[in-house]
């Protein structure tokens, strides 16, 4: 069994991007810029936005955080987005989700220019992914594929089973893996809570991607020997032996599944660090495609 070290791969990606941005600065060119917009005071959202902004600064990207109160109007938020759609200093626009209930998330996502949709959530980005056109792929699925690529894991003709059908992970990674591309070209099954026997599908997986948000749902007897396991789950469970009173686990029961796996991602330290790395990568891509 080989552990897939997402923390190291994410660090490598950041170093590669920093070298490219340092070169741009040496040539006195504009650098990629990302604006993050946050509405309300959700503590988790505050942490996520701060970590994204810090990551930008560390590699030399221009970064800005726009904070607004929870009472901010939907129309005013759209006005802010439209301002940045035409701002040549910012090549990526990120609106941190979730938004307050009075704001329609779909409207906000659709207000972002597809050329600056570095989260990969715009319907045009999603549609381009489905039909196999060049596009921004949402960051977690892009990170999963990057891990497979950097560990040289063969995916061609392999049976990829995705557990979960969210718009952020399950659906896009399924579409990504069935494209006729390198580190894709797979046979894909998507299963979810409506499956009467989930293990019927998971036992068939050559590559299992667990993204259902249920702690340690995938047990050792639900996978076959040699499976590649990508665990997207981040779940907090009670642990009185820990000083924090809890511990973080994935959607896979790691101690049971790891002995049967050829490759497996840990939680934490697997897929998680890749998400911000791919956000930075998407922002650099937006700069190269539309902003240089």
What letter does residue 268 receive in the DSSP assignment?
A: S
DSSP for the chain, please give it. Answer: -EE--HHHHHHHHHHHHHHHHHHHHHTT----EEEEEEES--HHHHHHHHHHHHHHHHHT-EEEEEEE-TT--HHHHHHHHHHHHT-TT--EEEEPSSPPTTS-HHHHHHHS-GGG-TT--SHHHHHHHHHT-S-PPPHHHHHHHHHHHHTT---TT-EEEEE---TTTHHHHHHHHHSSSTT---EEEEE-TT-S-HHHHHTT-SEEEE-S--TT-B-GGGS-TTEEEEE---EEEE-TTSTTSEEEE-SB-HHHHGGGEEEE--SSSSSHHHHHHHHHHHHHHHIIIII-
Active site residue 96: yes
Q: Is 66 helix (H, G, I), strand (E, B) or coil?
A: strand
CA 191 to chain centre: 20
Exactly one of 5, 52, 231, 285 is catalytic; which is it?
52
Active site residue 119: yes
Exactly one of 5, 96, 158, 206 is catalytic; which is it?
96
The CA–CA distances, whole Å, from 135 to 26, 138, 207 equal 29, 10, 24
Active site residue 52: yes
C-alpha–C-alpha distance, residues 112 and 270, integer Å? 30
Element (H, E) at 129: helix 123-131
Exactly one of 117, 119, 206, 231 is catalytic; which is it?
119
C-alpha–C-alpha distance, residues 226 and 229, integer Å? 9
Catalytic residues: 52, 96, 119
């Amino acid at each position: 069994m080989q552990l897939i070290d997402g923390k190291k791969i994410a660090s490598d990606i950041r170093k590669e991007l920093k070298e490219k941005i340092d070169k741009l600065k040496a040539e006195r060119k504009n650098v990629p810029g990302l604006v993050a917009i946050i509405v309300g005071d959700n503590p988790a959202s505050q942490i996520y936005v701060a970590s994204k902004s810090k990551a930008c600064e560390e590699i030399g990207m221009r970064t800005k955080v726009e904070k607004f109160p929870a009472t901010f109007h939907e129309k005013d938020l759209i006005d802010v987005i439209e301002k940045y759609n035409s701002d040549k200093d910012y090549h990526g626009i990120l609106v941190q989700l979730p938004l307050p209930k009075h704001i329609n998330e779909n409207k906000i996502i659709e207000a972002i220019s597809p050329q600056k949709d570095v989260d990969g959530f715009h319907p045009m980005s999603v549609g381009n992914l489905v039909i196999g056109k060049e596009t921004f792929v949402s960051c977690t699925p892009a990170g999963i594929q990057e891990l497979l690529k950097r560990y040289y894991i063969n995916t061609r003709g392999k049976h990829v089973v995705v557990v979960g059908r969210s718009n952020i992970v399950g659906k896009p990674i399924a579409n990504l893996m069935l494209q006729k591309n390198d580190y894709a070209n797979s046979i894909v099954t998507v299963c979810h809570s409506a499956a009467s026997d989930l293990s019927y599908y998971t036992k068939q997986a050559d590559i299992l991607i667990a993204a259902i948000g249920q702690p340690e749902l995938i047990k050792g007897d639900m996978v076959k020997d040699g499976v590649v396991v990508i665990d997207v789950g981040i779940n907090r469970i009670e642990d009185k032996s820990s000083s924090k009173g809890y511990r973080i686990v994935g959607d896979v029961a790691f101690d049971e599944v790891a002995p049967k796996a050829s490759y497996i991602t840990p939680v934490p330290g697997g897929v998680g660090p890749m998400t911000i790395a791919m956000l930075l990568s998407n922002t650099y891509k937006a700069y190269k495609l539309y902003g240089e």
